[in-house]
Amino acid sequence: MTIQFKDETFRNDYTFKNSDWAIKRFPFPFHEDSYMYSVNMEQHKGGPEGSIYEKRFDVDEHYLSEMHDRAQVLRDDPLRCQSLPNMTLAGWDLLELIMVSKSEDYPDLFELHRDGHKWRWINKPMKIDDTFTFLDDATLPYGPMEYITRQTQGDFVVLDQRENNLWMDAGMVTTQADWSLDFDIGMNFFEWHAPVPKAHEMGIFTRALKFLLNIQQGAPARRLNWTMTVNPLLDTSPENYHKWGVQKNTLTPENIGEKQHLRVELQTFFRLPRSNALVFPIRCYLASFDDLMTFPKWGRRLHRVIRDLPEELATYKGFIDNRPMMLDYLSKYDDGKVTSNGIWPDDETEPKLDLSLIHI
């Protein structure tokens, strides 16, 4: 597999752009023409060849640019990465999980050589070649969690399991959808989900917590979550709301297809072996409305989902004011035809891309 990494930006001039390959494998989050909260968990056992589900930690054309953006966020605000004292061992667990996964899944890009506790890690795209002692913090330039998540797409929350609950006691969070690690650090599962409307009354979080507490080592799980973002901006944190919130006012009927982005999170859950912590990777994918209209099924379905979404959910997702403009744009792509179940674009009129040949 050959991936051509892009040099692009997720701020200021916004040069981010998806290739045809990236659009084809985008995790469109709606499996039917309506949306309401559900636990929607499934086992993370891979997926279609070339899809974002295939590998344990997906690496795509945006990898180097996302890592550059992460480094910039951390320079401006080091508190985006925090780990309470009880989570050091979990950090080493996470480092091992990612290094082993990447070196096995992408052997042309990453190498891990182990001789007892003497490890050598080679990250070819980022030109990193480090030797360190496993479980010895002093042999790395950062703590183990920070070291490896500076090299891995997506946010990472590491959850300590105690008192029949999960506690957000560590994380690397630079691409979040309007929530704050600095505010939530040390909170339990119900406390950090408190702002979400409707789901509590529906018992969603009680069922989700029961499922998560029972995840076993070697049996990871996954789900999709989504929201909306104006411009391809990774850092939509509350700390920087004054920078990105005002961008919602820049939408016009002429530019909405280019500027309005569906923001989808692939959320996975892995049980860590030594600490028994649960790691919660949150990988963000962005696609403009113009990208999504490439596939007729997605165009029809997105119009129907946005049109029928309850007002409180549209408000929570951050687009209630712009919904009329979105619907004006999307309605042009809804011909009233029946859509098939599932998230993959399967219309006869769609461009045919062979996901098994990922050469871009």
- CA 96 – CA 90 distance, rounded (Å): 10
Phi and psi torsions of 102, nearest 5°: -70, -40
The enclosing H or E element of 267 equals: strand 260-271
The whole-angstrom separation of Cα 208 and Cα 206 is: 5
Contact 24, 355 (CB under 8 A): yes
How far apart are the C-alpha atoms of 359 and 62, rounded to whole Å? 14
Q: Yes or no: say if 119 and 112 are a contact pair by the CB < 8 Å rule.
A: yes
**Other CB atoms within 10 Å distance of the CB of residue 2:** 8
Q: Which residues are catalytic?
A: 223
> Among candidates 177, 175, 206, which has minimal Cα distance to 190?
206
Beta bridge partners of 167: 160, 188
Rounded CA separation 186/196 (Å): 18
